[in-house]
């Protein structure tokens, strides 16, 4: 039997992959702008691979223009404190180190349980320096996972970027890249 975490990993995987059934289910309670953004992913989807737990990430989203390692978290609380489980902080540090070496943005997707509308929020881990190329542009747009005075990570769901807005933003960047490549 799948855990709740597996359920939400699959949900995000199918949404980013532009799976029509998953998208249609998600948009039932979304507003018009969220609905348009989710529907647009069906025209420009990612290939999304569920990663082995040992990699420190849950999903890897790949497309002709961008690739992201994604760690998926879900909660019925709107704040996720990494200090509650030391493994979460270690996992985040490992993910930052790996992504820094390859100039990728480490993405956290936080799903708030029981919410109508767009329940997903996107965050990036703070990298301590600018990333190269297009990753640097995206890095400046995605809200960062916060750190408290003790250096522990905190995600406040309300401070994240809506997944629908992230999809819309990625679509606009893809359109710009297509035009410049022609």
Query: pLDDT by residue (tens digit) across 83-118?
Result: 888 888 899 999 999 888 888 999 999 999 999 999
Separation of alpha carbons 89 and 83, rounded Å: 7
- The per-residue pLDDT for range 150-173, each reduced to its tens digit, is 989 999 999 999 999 999 999 888
Instruction: Determine how β-strand 67-75 pairs with β-strand 79-81.
Output: unpaired
Domains and CATH numbers, the chain: 4-181 (3.40.1350.10)
Q: What confidence score (pLDDT) does residue 1 get? A: 46
Q: What angle, rounded to 10 degrees, do the helices at 163-181 and 32-40 form? A: 50
Strand, coil or helix: what is 39? Answer: helix
User: How many other C-beta atoms can be found within 10 angstroms of the C-beta atom of residue 91?
Assistant: 17
């Amino acid at each position: 039997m799948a855990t709740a975490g597996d359920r939400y990993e699959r949900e995000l995987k199918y949404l980013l992959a532009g799976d029509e059934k998953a998208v249609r289910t998600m948009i039932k309670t979304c507003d018009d702008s969220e609905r348009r953004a989710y529907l647009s992913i069906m025209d420009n989807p990612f290939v999304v691979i569920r990663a082995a737990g040992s990699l420190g990430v849950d999903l890897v989203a790949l497309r002709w223009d961008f690739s992201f390692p994604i760690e998926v978290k879900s909660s019925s609380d709107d704040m996720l404190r990494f200090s509650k489980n030391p493994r979460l902080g270690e996992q985040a540090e490992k993910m930052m180190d790996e992504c820094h070496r390859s100039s990728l943005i480490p993405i956290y997707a936080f799903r708030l349980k029981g919410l109508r509308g767009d329940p997903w929020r996107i965050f990036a881990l703070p990298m301590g320096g600018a990333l190269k190329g297009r990753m640097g542009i995206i890095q400046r747009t995605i809200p960062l996972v916060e750190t408290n005075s003790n250096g522990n990570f905190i995600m406040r769901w309300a401070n994240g970027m809506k997944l629908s807005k992230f999809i819309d933003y990625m679509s606009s960047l893809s359109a710009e890249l297509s035009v410049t490549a022609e």
